[in-house]
Amino acid sequence: MLRLLKLVLFLAVATFVAATSFAYLGDMTPARTDVTQPVELNVGQ
């Protein structure tokens, strides 16, 4: 039982380290594009 608990704890720590490393070192910049969309305003009706 203790061996299983150690395995789960190790996997949790390894997952946290991997996610933190990816957040800081991975390329997470969004792709930017210009969006132009006409807007029709119904003013005065």
Residue 3 has a pLDDT of 96
Residue 26 has a pLDDT of 80
d(CA 37, CA 35): 6
Residue 45 has a pLDDT of 66
For residue 6, what are the contacts with CB-CB under 8 A and spacing of at least 6? none
For 1-45, what is each residue's pLDDT tens digit? 999 999 999 999 999 999 999 888 887 778 899 999 999 888 876
pTM over 0.75: no
Residue 30 has a pLDDT of 81
DSSP state of 43: T
Handedness of CA 16, 20, 25, 30 (dihedral sign): positive
